[in-house]
Structure 1
Amino acid sequence: MLRRILLPALVTSTLLVGATVQSTASVADTADRRSASPTSQVPPASDKERLNGSATRSGPSEEDCTEAAERAARTATAPSSYSCLTQLTPAEGKAARVSSATAGRISASAALVAPLPVNDCTGDEDGSWWSTRTMQCQIDPNVKYTYRDSDGTVLGTALFATAQQLDVATNSLQWTETDQITMLSSTGTLPANLGVSWTTNCSATCTPRSTKPWVQTPIRDGQNLKTTYTLRDVPSTVYDYIDLDYQLSIGSPDAIDLLPPITWGGAEVRCDNKLSVLDKAGCVVPWYTPTLRVSRAQYGSSADMIEWAQNNLSGHWGLRGTGEPLHRLQSSSQQDSNRRAICGTTKFTADPAIQDDSCDEFPFAGTYESGALNGVDHGKDCAQVTAVRAGTTNDLALDWPIVTTAGMASGSEKCVRGHIPRSLNTDLGGAYGVFIKEVLLADDDPFWIRVTL
């Protein structure tokens, strides 16, 4: 997989542009001291998203098993029993589980179907990888074992489910993986000493490079095998993209395996040692796009300006389902240039009607979507809005909750510029700085932005 090589850079970003320029560190520290500090941006399991593309596992099919059994029966020089492990399609797996459950209800001698293994993918047992920024999981209930005699006649079958979960941390270069396999049901006769072998391989710079949770470990009908182990990144001077792949075999010394083990990949971890954030080393799931939540109750008209732009300007920046994600810009010098273009001291005049007026801009100067990087060299060419006063409670978010347009907006502008009370502007900049740290947002990493109540 071809990736941009990400190198360290100073971490500075702010939404406030004017006579005073604050770095992410100072703004974030200010936000941390506020009693209403931003809540954690690391998403819960309910916010997980599905990995597209090669998300589902592939492996030998039932047809492959039948053909291999026929070849073995024709060419065998001595009687032998055979077995093969196949990957069912989701539809085939579901039909197999329904058939086993039905058999269990109508036959006293048939075993009931065991429950699926449980992890943060429970409810999404489709064999696909799902993730948040700090978790990746999968449950695949579609693995079938078939046991045949020397003539190719099926003697017995077993249906298995596998489950995996990787839990990484943005403040650690090590993470855990928990793997499970359950024999859900069986039919007929299975060979003695049926066992599971599983290998996990991870690419450099991961250690250990190979882990074997089970080596011909016995398993019986209804049993769940489960193990947790630790993996670690050995940090380099660039971002470390670590791919993990897996190999599963189920068999017995009493039966010849007709097919190779099932193999799959799709799990990926990105780690860095103080590259995305200068004082932090940690790991994330790189293909998950996190969401910055911006509260109206905390940021008032500054939040409303973002929502106005997302809904009324054609860019719809960061609006999931309508626009494209924003992308973090890490270069402090480029951020400064972006600010000067939109809100330089010669390009913005404070409005005395706005309490402690400041120049607020969206998309942020600290993103690649900044108007200054997309053809705008003066903030007057952005859509213009101004905060509207609604009260005198000394709570700025309540007193200045919304914006109104100033002049005409065509909807095709590359940015919006607003007259916003300074603290609302600065504190929202602090929230973005905290967000960058919490989710280890690297240069050009995408993120969504959602305005909440």
Structure 2
Amino acid sequence: MIRRMLACGLAAGILAFGAQPASPAAPRPEDRTAPAAFAAPEKERAPRGGPAEATSTCEEAKEAAGGNRPYGCITRISSVRQADAASGSLRAAAGVPLPTNNCTGDEDGYWYATRTWMCEIDPNVHYTYYDQNNKWLGAATFAVAQQLDLDRLSLTWKETDQVKMIAREGTLPANLSISWTTECKSACAPNSTKVWEEQPVGLGQNLEKTYSVTNQPSQKYDFIDHTYKLDIHAAGTIPLTEPITWSGSRFRCDSKQALGNTSGCVVAWFTPTLSVSRAKFGSSADMIAWAQKNLSGHWGLKGTGKPLSRLQNAQQQKDNRRRVCETAWTPDQTVAEVTCDEFPFASSYESGALNGIQNGSECAQVKAVQKDSTGVLATDWPTVTTIGTVTGKEVCVRGHIPSSLNTGVGSYYVKLIREARLADKDEFWVQVTA
């Protein structure tokens, strides 16, 4: 979001699951396709604040002009508080549409994201032009649009920036132009990209440019946060104040940290959702849904419980599995292909073994219920029923579940880890679907 609200220039303004999961394998080329383990991702708004309010009324530009020359200034007024009604009517009268990207429909100056892209559209950048006597001469409204497309299997990403004059009135300098610079810290190459420099712009003209930036290879997690600088000014004039600046496009890159032998970048603050289908996983999916509804932890249930978080340490996963599923366990042989299934997953920090239990008998106990004999396990064993007394305060559930249903959920979790590039302690939701 834009932080500095003012700029000007001479003559114009400057502007698991029960079965132990295998470690995620190195992604294959086909893994770049749409992730099947995800529930349909809906973009989330960035948690770090909202659009900044204007902090100046062009007094700084007026003072710098010294009362003996025309001047211009830029302000950004939040659309959240209904900025400048006159500008809005002007834009409607001009019939100029806003620039478009994945944030179309959310043109409020906030950053939005999924795990693999970020965007924002800000329609309220205002340029105002005054004469040397501080008399208003004219004004223009600009929309700024940005989108970053990340690659979970590459340290290079693409950014597409747009600037568009969407309304104007009165008299403006004939040579009004745009300058834009994107800057990144030392982890990036290049560190600075001049997107436009004194690029002429007129009503309805959409400036658009796509460019690439690369995270310098490292053996750690790098958190990338760009700074953007925008000038709107009369080309060739001398700047009187600094350009407006903003940031907020924060994401994470790593090399061989979240996933072995691969490098990539994701929006770490976006929480993905593991989709577990009853049609595919029958009683294993029903056990998760039962626990989310009936046990006080409501693990992974969005809107009610807290998300789960990935546990990356393989030895700790095995230890968790052993404590929950290999202590006080007698498999119910009336269940086909019976195995011990558990939730929360052994490869999550929410595992019962990390939250106080000494053996699996302290979990709530359930078993698969047979409904049919078609030979399709998800159809034949679609639900669970409780065994013994359940208080609702148990920190885990342990189930007698057919093996392929149990391991199927586990394989989907591994797929989510790969597709979302989940690192240790990265959070995720679990959604049971039809």
Same fold by TM-score, threshold 0.5 exceeded?
A: yes
Q: How does 1:393-412 map to 2 (within 5 A)?
A: 393-412=374-393
> Could you tell me whether the CA contact under 8 Å between 1:59 and 1:263 is conserved in 2?
no
**Alignment partners' CA distance in 2, 1:114 and 1:96:** 15
Shift, 1:316, TM fit = 0.7
Residue type of the alignment partner of 2:251: V
TM-superposition CA deviations, 1:110-146 (whole Å, max 9, x none): xx14100000000000100000000000000010001
Aligned in 2, Cα 1:82/1:226: closer, same or farther, shift over 3 Å? Answer: same
Deviates more, 1:123-132 or 1:249-258: 249-258
**Alignment partners' CA distance in 1, 2:237 and 2:57:** 17
Aligned counterpart in structure 2 of residue 68 of structure 1, from 24, 47, 60: 60
Report the equivalent of 1:40.
Answer: 36
Residue type of the alignment partner of 2:249: A
Shift, 1:23, TM fit = 2.0
Report the equivalent of 1:328.
Answer: 310
TM-superposition CA deviations, 1:226-283 (whole Å, max 9, x none): 0000011112111111111111110114766554321111102211112111132111
Residue type of the alignment partner of 1:242: I
> Could you tell me whether the CA contact under 8 Å between 1:173 and 1:282 is conserved in 2?
yes
Report the equivalent of 1:109.
Answer: none
Aligned in 2, Cα 1:442/1:149: closer, same or farther, shift over 3 Å? Answer: same
**Alignment partners' CA distance in 2, 1:236 and 1:42:** 28
Q: How does 1:54-65 map to 2 (within 5 A)?
A: 54-56=49-51, 58=52, 60-61=54-55, 63-65=56-58
Q: How does 1:96-115 map to 2 (within 5 A)?
A: 96-101=86-91, 104=93, 112-115=94-97
Residue type of the alignment partner of 1:451: V
TM-superposition CA deviations, 1:351-391 (whole Å, max 9, x none): 01100111000000000000110101111111111110010
Structure 1 unaligned blocks of 5 or more: 1-13, 33-37, 105-111
Report the equivalent of 1:107.
Answer: none
Report the equivalent of 2:351.
Answer: 370
TM-superposition CA deviations, 1:325-357 (whole Å, max 9, x none): 10000001111111111011x421110110011
| Percent pairwise identity | 50
Q: How does 1:174-323 map to 2 (within 5 A)?
A: 174-253=156-235, 259-323=241-305
3-state DSSP class of the match of 1:314? Answer: coil
3-state DSSP class of the match of 1:384? Answer: strand
> Could you tell me whether the CA contact under 8 Å between 2:182 and 2:194 is conserved in 1?
yes
Q: CA RMSD in A?
A: 2.1
3-state DSSP class of the match of 1:24? Answer: coil
Deviates more, 1:346-355 or 1:115-124: 346-355
3-state DSSP class of the match of 2:284? Answer: helix
Report the equivalent of 1:5.
Answer: none
Q: How does 1:319-358 map to 2 (within 5 A)?
A: 319-344=301-326, 346-358=327-339
Aligned in 2, Cα 1:122/1:43: closer, same or farther, shift over 3 Å? Answer: farther
Report the equivalent of 1:88.
Answer: 77
> Could you tell me whether the CA contact under 8 Å between 1:233 and 1:271 is conserved in 2?
yes
**Alignment partners' CA distance in 2, 1:101 and 1:161:** 11
> Could you tell me whether the CA contact under 8 Å between 2:39 and 2:274 is conserved in 1?
no
Q: What is the TM-score with the length of structure 1 in the denominator?
A: 0.87
**Alignment partners' CA distance in 2, 1:22 and 1:165:** 35
Aligned in 2, Cα 1:70/1:168: closer, same or farther, shift over 3 Å? Answer: closer
**Alignment partners' CA distance in 1, 2:289 and 2:219:** 39
> Could you tell me whether the CA contact under 8 Å between 1:80 and 1:256 is conserved in 2?
no
Determine whether 1:124 maps to 2:106.
yes
Q: How does 1:147-158 map to 2 (within 5 A)?
A: 147-158=129-140
**Alignment partners' CA distance in 1, 2:270 and 2:74:** 32
> Could you tell me whether the CA contact under 8 Å between 2:38 and 2:274 is conserved in 1?
no
Report the equivalent of 2:10.
Answer: none
> Could you tell me whether the CA contact under 8 Å between 1:269 and 1:283 is conserved in 2?
yes
Shift, 1:92, TM fit = 4.0
| Runs of 4+ with >4 A deviation | 253-259
Determine whether 1:451 maps to 2:428.
no
**Alignment partners' CA distance in 2, 1:96 and 1:165:** 28
> Could you tell me whether the CA contact under 8 Å between 1:128 and 1:138 is conserved in 2?
yes
**Alignment partners' CA distance in 1, 2:39 and 2:229:** 30
Aligned pairs, number: 413
> Could you tell me whether the CA contact under 8 Å between 1:347 and 1:378 is conserved in 2?
yes
Deviates more, 1:125-134 or 1:247-256: 247-256
Aligned in 2, Cα 1:96/1:204: closer, same or farther, shift over 3 Å? Answer: farther
**Alignment partners' CA distance in 2, 1:96 and 1:414:** 58
> Could you tell me whether the CA contact under 8 Å between 2:198 and 2:235 is conserved in 1?
no
> Could you tell me whether the CA contact under 8 Å between 1:293 and 1:451 is conserved in 2?
yes
> Could you tell me whether the CA contact under 8 Å between 1:55 and 1:266 is conserved in 2?
no
